[in-house]
Structure 1
Amino acid sequence: MRSLDRTAINAPADWQDKVNDKLPDPEAYASKAQEFEQLPINGQQRRNSFTKYAPEELPKRRRKPYFPTVWSSDRRVKSALATWSHSKCAYCEDKINARRSQQVEHFKPKSLFPSLAYDWDNYFLACNGCNGTKSDKWPESGKYVRPDQDQPETLFAFDEQGGMKARETSSDAQRTVDDFGLDRPGLREARKVAIRQPLNTMRTVLAQRLPDNMKRRLAQRIVTEAEHPEVSYSQAKGQNLRRLWHEHFPNVSLF
């Protein structure tokens, strides 16, 4: 996970109109959503979802209330999110170029926070793995790490085997790792493979009989390329490369 600048993405001017067209009574929906969100987060009524709490405020499909999926039907949403996060999952940094594999993820689940179901500030691009694992989870206390607010670069640690964990000071970060499945086996293996190539290149550079200033320039280039925003698992790669540099030159800044 790496930081994303929310100011770089904005809802289209006609977004709210498109949403309102899909709801029976937008004002009544907003009022009921506010009322619903005052219920205890883990209470039975809240966990039963807004569709059961206020079915009259939602359209019906086969006689069942549902949230109109404007975030999916309006192709501008996914397109904007993909551009914003460089076609990477905002959580695990896996590259998801195939449009059908890209998910519009509600950071705060719409079943628990219906007032945010159509709020662009609540949307992130996610892969199937992270979106499916997180599902409609939300902590009773504390929070999850947001890529656009919480400086995730300072909160997570990656090892050479692709493992990911929270730094010791953040229980919110560890909760995010656990509930989003950010250390799931397949993802851990993918990071391990991705880390290996630049790390081996860096080791080769450091082992050569070159002046230290030349090693530094070459190492800078490797790290800059690995940490580029468009690169998959850029944080995992960057942390391991920087750690390797400081093992060899503990008193020399890389940049």
Structure 2
Amino acid sequence: MAYFTTSDGKRLYYEDTGTGQPLLCLAGLTRNCRDFSFLAPHLSDLRMIAMDYRGRGKSDFDANYMNYNILREAQDAVELLDHLGLGKVALLGTSRGGLIAMALATSHPDRLAGVILNDVGPVIELDGIAKIMGYVGNRPTSKTYDDAAHALGVMMEPQFPGVSLDIWRQQVENQYTQTDSGLDLRYDPTLRNALIEQAANTPAPDLWPMFDALHDIPTGVIRGANSDLLRTATVQEMRARHPKLISTEVPDRGHVPFLNELQSLDLIHQILDAT
């Protein structure tokens, strides 16, 4: 297992596999390196680098939960690249990871060879936020992976019709850990406190300037056709502001696509080829 230490002393876990073109993979809000387990078999010719943000997965929790914010996590990503001796890389960001990518476009554009945004953009729909806040920080009620997989499949069926129980089983194993008392979170539950207090203390930021900073960087956006977080209208505005933006929509997927879909893989390769 590989770790690096941040400038403020946190020990963060990362995975670094393969020897080809480097691709930095940044996961969703509550997720970890396992977020890319469905994608990895399709990119065996690349050097895939993924990290557990502070407070997630195998990384240190932060006693000051207000450090669970996009700017600090963006700085951690830069420090990982420095640790690995990498200058400019392509970046694939799922949800929260895409917001971090946009933050890096404003603060460290010289580190980005290309960016792929997985079901996220400069406008985040309130319905999607409400759904996320409905579970963040809450320990699952299911006691076993099988029960959790069934419950997740039922909940996600409207957005992800036809997805097999085996896929949902893998997803819950990625998200939860088994304990003697049942399933538990693979992240610090005080992440919920951070989100609530940040929302209460800070007006919702205008994210369009962060997206506009990607103007000269090869950029693609993947949208789940059933997404409740990223609207089609937002993607259209993104295309208007970034004329070279590549976009695709994945049918029968909500927030977020697994990235092993043909549409997702095609866009990922297009951006990698452009870097």
- What is the TM-score of this pair, normalised by structure 1? 0.26
Normalized per residue, which structure has more strand? 2
Structure with higher RCO (Cα < 8 A, 6+ apart): 2
Q: Name which one, 1 or 2, has greater alpha-carbon Rg.
A: 1
Normalized per residue, which structure has more helix? 1
